[in-house]
Structure 1
Amino acid sequence: MLYHQERHITHLDLDTFFVSVECLRNPALLGKPVLIGGSGDRGVVASCSYEARKFGIHSAMPMKIARRLCSHAIIVRGDMEAYSKYSRLVTNIIQDTVPLFEKSSIDEFYVDLTGMDKFFGCQLFSGELKKKIYKESGLPISFGLASNKLISKVATNEVKPNGQIEIPFGNEKIYLAPLSIAKLPGVGKQTALLLFKMGVETVKVLSEIPIEMMQNLLGKSGTDLWRKANGIDETPVVPFHEQKSISTENTFQQDTIDIHFLNSELVRMTEKIAFELRQQNKLTGCITVKLRYSNFETFTRQLTIPYTNADHIILKTAKELFAKLYERRMLIRLIGIRFTNLIPGNYQISLFDDTQESINLYQAIDSVKKRFGEDLLIRATGARKV
């Protein structure tokens, strides 16, 4: 228990991040029901303002339904480049202010303030950081301060928008008790429905179910859920700079100058690690292409991009980098590609201009790859000649 007692974790969450960025760019949107996403009937809602949520609209909802619920809603096409820029701005502000933080998504952060209570006071420090972020970025942000990541995240969600709260150590279970089980992170619709049918509606009731029963009901996830209901979370804050890269490279059996072969290898390798990126539920913010010539000279080019893990965006960037890199007519012995600046996230937020069918296509392709092997389904340009 000493481990929990010494921890002070602040969860920071930018309020309706995409909408807030759009309001900064166009103040006329403030206080209006705003939908971010594709404007066509087959588009999806990537984000929406609190004013729009009052009509029952939520993210990932088909735009056609959202427009029926609120006919006077203002639809804004998403701009991932702008959102990535502001996300990096806030990241830099936090990085300059605290010694240890984790970027858990494009608009969420965990800050480990353990030990700060002896000097400055964690609540006061978090409040000052909140003000600093708003002053330097113009973006409203909420925070929850608690003894672990779970409680701090739940608390933040409860006080949004533009709120702040501290849950003192020892009050974790008391705080969670009256909340709906749907408020616990990781409780999906199916699990919630199952528990509701059993009469389990609040976290208090869930916490009182024997752990063995939860294991029998949901397996390992049942154990995890029981721990959450009891306010237990020992997950560490993972330093942002330690986020790993995802990369692959290929040294050819014979040095080559065959541009078609090199392009097909680039496509194949890029698709391979883009699939891996999505399997890890991550987005990349920087792509690097590497070439090694037959004389062993090695050159790289990289480009910072809006956060994404969509093949069509990543492939376009990789090809552009390769075209700029391959200026010499010398034999190539190695080609490589690397994704860095990784953050948790899914590809739906990158598909503002795409339809629900596009999202479904990505999900279907990944499902086939996951079940039968990633090499079974590839782009024709990435296929190796037999």
Structure 2
Amino acid sequence: MLPPVRHIIHADLDAFYAAVEQLDNPELRGLPVLVGGRPEGRGVVATASYEARRFGVHSAMPMATAVRQCPDGIIVRPRFDRYREMSGLVMDIFRDVTEVIQPVSLDEAYLDVTEAAANRSPIAIAIDIKERVSAETGLTVSVGLGSGKTVAKIASDLQKPDGLVVVPTGQEADFLAPLAVGKLVGVGPKSAARLHDEGVDTIGQLATMPEAWFARHFGKRGDSIRDRARGIDHDPVQTSREAKSISAETTFAEDLPGNSEDERAELRAIVERLSGRVARSLPGKGLVGRTVTVKLRLSDFTTFTRQTTLPSPTDDEAAIVATAWMLLERELAPDRAFRLLGVGVSGFTQKEGPDETPEPVVAQQRLIL
């Protein structure tokens, strides 16, 4: 029996951080806005307004490069508390439509509106979402609507900003066929380059390749990539808040460098405190983890993570502290100061009993403040 037809929306706020800055400061409207760190501090672009994108500026670009390409760009430091506030307002609008929501980040989410579509056209639902977001927040959101998450996400990106693209049920493969293979979820830039070398440039060409070919090129992901290329996607919208790590983080009142012995000792103490919180939460859940991650935000708001995988799963506080400190110590430099530090553990298995074999689990991602 075929599964019932689903109606999935992917909603993606347009140039979110920059749009919030332009909303709050009318003097920035219509101007090229670059949200991120200063160019002299090795900052990067978090988001660029569409006025700046016309100059080829994009997210994750070094700010120095962005300024060269867009010399009239106005650099604005990120205000993440404000972005979280605005994101919450938008997510509340989504929840008025359906409880089946999977937030992906502050500015995008999947919505399963199948149940709501029993009484209303799914297109009408999508239009209503766009209108409410605009009226109630002043932001614009691009929406893709289809039978699965793959086509919905790709569709939401095709007519930005303020787009609405609908992929009718049964036309998923036709919709995907002419698109560049790199647009398919799971095909990154390196994979796309390899496929291009083999003459596979579009999703439609990818879909025609035999099953064994996918196994050779993508390994265990072969079957799922092949299905997505053919427009087949039954992946559910994950309403569970569970993810794959347990973490703790803190933001400092003042930026903290690690140049002197006292500063390094202070950073070490923070690592110990955060690692302890994470470690103490594991036994109660019966979990041990193999991967330790540190999250760092510099004084210019550049944010990145470093991680390593241990030889065996652990919930030992000392091991987590030692590993997290090793990762942080490698990032200390005379020109760096930190404004946020986080420690996380992932790669979980259930802790073994006397006669048990550990099995992989998916555990709740918890931000322990």
**CA distance in structure 2 between the aligned counterparts of 1:207 and 1:17, rounded to whole angstroms:** 33
* 1:370 maps to which of 306, 309, 319: 309
**CA distance in structure 1 between the aligned counterparts of 2:50 and 2:270, rounded to whole angstroms:** 46
Aligned identity (percent) is 38
**CA distance in structure 2 between the aligned counterparts of 1:217 and 1:379, rounded to whole angstroms:** 37
The 3-state SS of whatever aligns with 1:46 is strand
Task: Give the superposition deviation at 1:351.
Answer: 5.5
**CA distance in structure 2 between the aligned counterparts of 1:310 and 1:270, rounded to whole angstroms:** 15
TM-score (norm 1): 0.68
**1:77 touches 1:352 (CA, 8 Å); kept in 2?**
no
**1:43 touches 1:352 (CA, 8 Å); kept in 2?**
no
Pairing 1:215-226 to 2, within 5 Å after superposition? 215-226=215-226
**CA distance in structure 2 between the aligned counterparts of 1:212 and 1:99, rounded to whole angstroms:** 39
**1:6 touches 1:115 (CA, 8 Å); kept in 2?**
no
**CA distance in structure 2 between the aligned counterparts of 1:135 and 1:157, rounded to whole angstroms:** 22
Deviations along 1:278-327, one digit per CA (max 9) or x if unpaired, are: x799xxxxxxxxxxxxxxxxxxxxxxxxxxx835xxxxxxxxxxxxxxxx
The count of corresponding residues between Structure 1 and Structure 2 is: 294
**CA distance in structure 1 between the aligned counterparts of 2:280 and 2:58, rounded to whole angstroms:** 31
**CA distance in structure 1 between the aligned counterparts of 2:90 and 2:229, rounded to whole angstroms:** 31
**CA distance in structure 2 between the aligned counterparts of 1:89 and 1:269, rounded to whole angstroms:** 34
Letter in 2 for 1:40: P
**CA distance in structure 1 between the aligned counterparts of 2:109 and 2:226, rounded to whole angstroms:** 25
Task: Provide closer, same or farther for how the CA distance between residues 69 and 270 of structure 1 changes in structure 2, counting only shifts above 3 A.
Answer: farther
**CA distance in structure 2 between the aligned counterparts of 1:267 and 1:125, rounded to whole angstroms:** 43
Task: Provide closer, same or farther for how the CA distance between residues 69 and 352 of structure 1 changes in structure 2, counting only shifts above 3 A.
Answer: farther
Give the helix-richer structure, 1 or 2. Answer: 1
**CA distance in structure 2 between the aligned counterparts of 1:31 and 1:264, rounded to whole angstroms:** 43
Pairing 1:175-186 to 2, within 5 Å after superposition? 175-186=175-186
The 3-state SS of whatever aligns with 2:99 is coil
**CA distance in structure 2 between the aligned counterparts of 1:244 and 1:371, rounded to whole angstroms:** 16
Task: Give the superposition deviation at 1:171.
Answer: 0.2
Q: Which residue of 2 aligns with 1:310?
A: 295
Q: Which residue of 2 aligns with 1:81?
A: 81
2:294 is equivalent to residue 269 of structure 1? no
Deviations along 1:122-165, one digit per CA (max 9) or x if unpaired, are: 11012112111211111100111100111111000112110112
**CA distance in structure 2 between the aligned counterparts of 1:8 and 1:280, rounded to whole angstroms:** 38
Deviations along 1:330-370, one digit per CA (max 9) or x if unpaired, are: xxxxxxxxxxxxxxxxxxxx667245xx73xx43xx1xx32
**CA distance in structure 2 between the aligned counterparts of 1:66 and 1:377, rounded to whole angstroms:** 35
The 3-state SS of whatever aligns with 1:32 is coil
Unaligned runs of 5+ in 2: 249-268, 282-287, 312-318, 329-369
Task: Provide closer, same or farther for how the CA distance between residues 379 and 86 of structure 1 changes in structure 2, counting only shifts above 3 A.
Answer: same
The 3-state SS of whatever aligns with 2:217 is helix
Q: Which residue of 2 aligns with 1:338?
A: none
Q: Which residue of 2 aligns with 1:141?
A: 141
Letter in 2 for 1:266: R
Task: Give the superposition deviation at 1:263.
Answer: 7.7
**CA distance in structure 1 between the aligned counterparts of 2:34 and 2:225, rounded to whole angstroms:** 33
Task: Provide closer, same or farther for how the CA distance between residues 21 and 210 of structure 1 changes in structure 2, counting only shifts above 3 A.
Answer: same
**CA distance in structure 1 between the aligned counterparts of 2:198 and 2:16, rounded to whole angstroms:** 36
**CA distance in structure 2 between the aligned counterparts of 1:64 and 1:267, rounded to whole angstroms:** 34
**CA distance in structure 1 between the aligned counterparts of 2:56 and 2:15, rounded to whole angstroms:** 15
**CA distance in structure 1 between the aligned counterparts of 2:121 and 2:68, rounded to whole angstroms:** 48
TM-score (norm 2): 0.71
2:300 is equivalent to residue 353 of structure 1? yes
**CA distance in structure 2 between the aligned counterparts of 1:67 and 1:215, rounded to whole angstroms:** 44
Task: Give the superposition deviation at 1:80.
Answer: 0.7
Letter in 2 for 1:353: D
2:194 is equivalent to residue 202 of structure 1? no
Task: Give the superposition deviation at 1:99.
Answer: 3.3
Unaligned runs of 5+ in 1: 249-261, 282-308, 312-349
Task: Provide closer, same or farther for how the CA distance between residues 222 and 352 of structure 1 changes in structure 2, counting only shifts above 3 A.
Answer: farther
Q: Which residue of 2 aligns with 1:211?
A: 211
**2:246 touches 2:278 (CA, 8 Å); kept in 1?**
no
Q: Which residue of 1 aligns with 2:21?
A: 22
**CA distance in structure 1 between the aligned counterparts of 2:300 and 2:10, rounded to whole angstroms:** 31
Letter in 2 for 1:310: K
**CA distance in structure 1 between the aligned counterparts of 2:298 and 2:87, rounded to whole angstroms:** 18
Letter in 1 for 2:165: I
> What is the Cα-based RMSD across aligned positions, in Å?
3.2
2:188 is equivalent to residue 188 of structure 1? yes
Letter in 1 for 2:26: P
**CA distance in structure 2 between the aligned counterparts of 1:273 and 1:161, rounded to whole angstroms:** 45
The 3-state SS of whatever aligns with 1:377 is helix
Structure number with the bigger relative contact order (C-alpha 8 A, sep ≥ 6) is 1
